[in-house]
Amino acid sequence: MKLPDWLVGLIIPIAFAVAWELAVRHGLTPGRLMPPPSRLAQTAWTLARSGELWTHVAATMQRVLLGFLIGAAAGTLFGMLCGASTWALRLLDPSIQALRAIPSIAWVPLFILWLGIFETSKLALIALGVFFPVYLGLLTAIQGVDRKLVEVGRVFGLSRWGIALRITWPAVMPVWVASLRTGLGLGFMFVVAAELMGASEGLGYLLLDGQQMGRADSILVAMIVFALLGKACDSAVVHVTRPVLRWQDTHRLSL
């Protein structure tokens, strides 16, 4: 009997949690620095019951989703522009690639100076992290469209817009979706740096508070919640974009 994909995906986390719990109970690892899953569950329940956890989750998710939408829209726009226009590529791409090489943490003091320590600077940092993978993925996909497909479209009398809508865009859609998923993952990474910019709520703030208070359980709970939220959002992107990828005739290995 073939197990559902979601159940197969739980095998490793559950096995790791059981091994972790047993290692702490048998004294193989210190429980203070590496709290067992039972203690993490108790901490998560306490935070959830008090409402503190939901406040942090809501703040983080709002920042990630808004930053993702802004960064993905900008990355898609500039990727399409530079992919479709050689002039735009020569003009814009060198500067964008140079900016992409700047470490994310280097933008923090500049955004604070420009935008203050409130939500605008946080959203700008998250959007910046999302922008680059979406831009680069879409640009690369457009440049990699098979030339023979474009020539066939011209033979059948398609206009430039017709080629873009009926050939180019379907061809780049899989890479664009993969770029969105990569950008979303980076959005969750950048939100931690963003929430260190004077935030009073959010999972990044919970991480920092756990460090300052010496509470490894709070830190690990925040990390686990980050993992769960990231996986849920990634699955949502896959589910939403699945209808536009139905045309693909690909081979998928059966496990």
Which of the pair, 33 or 234, is modelled with greater confidence? 234
14 falls within a domain = no
Stretch 9-14: mean pLDDT, rounded?
85
Which of the pair, 58 or 197, is modelled with greater confidence? 58
Q: 99-141 pLDDT, tens per residue?
A: 999 888 888 888 888 888 888 989 999 999 999 999 999 999 9
Q: Annotate 96-165 with three-state secondary structure.
A: HHHHHCCCHHHHHHHHHHHHCCCHHHHHHHHHHHHHHHHHHHHHHHHHCCCHHHHHHHHHCCCCHHHHHH
Q: Is the pLDDT of residue 1 over 70?
A: no
Helix or strand holding residue 186 (H, E): helix 169-195
Q: Which of these, 74, 120, 81, 117, lies nearest to 99 by C-alpha position?
A: 74
- 239's CB contacts (< 8 A; 6+ apart) are none
Q: Tokens 């998250």 identify what position?
A: 126
Q: Rounded CA gap, 190 and 233, in Å?
A: 15
pLDDT score at 155: 75
Q: Rounded CA gap, 255 and 252, in Å?
A: 9
Which of the pair, 167 or 137, is modelled with greater confidence? 137
Q: What is the residue range of 158's domain?
A: 40-245
Tokens of 156: 């059948």
| Domains in the chain, number | 1
137 falls within a domain = yes
pLDDT score at 254: 40
What pTM value is reported for the model? 0.87
30 falls within a domain = no
Query: Which CATH number characterizes residue 209's domain?
Result: 1.10.3720.10
22 falls within a domain = no
Percent of the chain at pLDDT above 70? Answer: 95
140 falls within a domain = yes
Quick count: other Cβ atoms within 10 Å of Cβ 173?
17
Percent of the chain at pLDDT above 90? Answer: 44
Q: Rounded CA gap, 55 and 47, in Å?
A: 10
Mean pLDDT rounded to a whole number for the chain:
86
| Across 72-76, 162-166, 205-209, least confident range | 162-166
Which of the pair, 230 or 153, is modelled with greater confidence? 230
19 falls within a domain = no
Q: 38-82 pLDDT, tens per residue?
A: 999 999 999 999 999 999 999 999 999 999 999 999 999 999 999
7 falls within a domain = no
